[in-house]
């Protein structure tokens, strides 16, 4: 019996790199940090380049709907989709780094209590450009 179970005996290095650079990276490399942020005025999505080479993009609606602040989410339970109210702005005001672990996003309507950890942004990355209808059931640990 092979004690190594189902490990492939000969995975070509390039195949391994491809594996590590796609979905696996987004899911498991959760300690990455942004090296560049792009949220130009008038844009409807924010883009992040990470220090491990991954680039991710988030529609503003997705960021606002998953605003992790206590006002939006309450104090308990996972972060879930909260339909942005009619009065909510999807215009990003300022982006401010918090310590070395998070970004604070300020919206055009003055809502500025959302602190998005880098880890949360990585977990959200594979849904960053999804339609709202496709993310309503998602939950994220906090």
- Judged by the rule CB under 5 A, the positions of this chain that interact with Zn ion are 67, 69, 71-72, 114
- Sheet containing 102-107: which strands, arranged edge to edge? 92-98, 102-107, 114-117
Q: What angle do CA 140, 63, 99 make, to 5 degrees?
A: 80
**Residues 78 and 59 sit within 8 Å (Cβ to Cβ):** no
119 Cβ contact partners less than 8 Å away, ≥ 6 residues apart: 30, 31, 101
């Amino acid at each position: 019996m092979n004690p190594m179970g189902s490990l492939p005996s000969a995975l070509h290095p390039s195949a391994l790199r491809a594996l590590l650079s796609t979905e696996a990276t987004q899911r498991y490399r959760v300690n990455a940090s942004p090296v560049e942020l792009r949220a130009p005025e008038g844009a409807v999505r924010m883009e992040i380049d990470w220090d491990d080479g991954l680039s991710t993009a988030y529609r503003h609606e997705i960021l606002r709907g998953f605003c992790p602040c206590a006002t939006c989410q309450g104090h308990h339970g996972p972060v879930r989709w909260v339909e942005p109210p009619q009065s909510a702005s999807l215009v990003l005001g300022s982006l401010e780094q918090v310590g070395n672990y998070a970004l604070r996003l300020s919206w055009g309507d003055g809502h500025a209590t959302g602190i998005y950890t880098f880890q949360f942004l990585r977990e959200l990355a594979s849904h960053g450009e999804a339609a709202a209808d496709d993310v309503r059931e998602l939950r994220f640990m906090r």
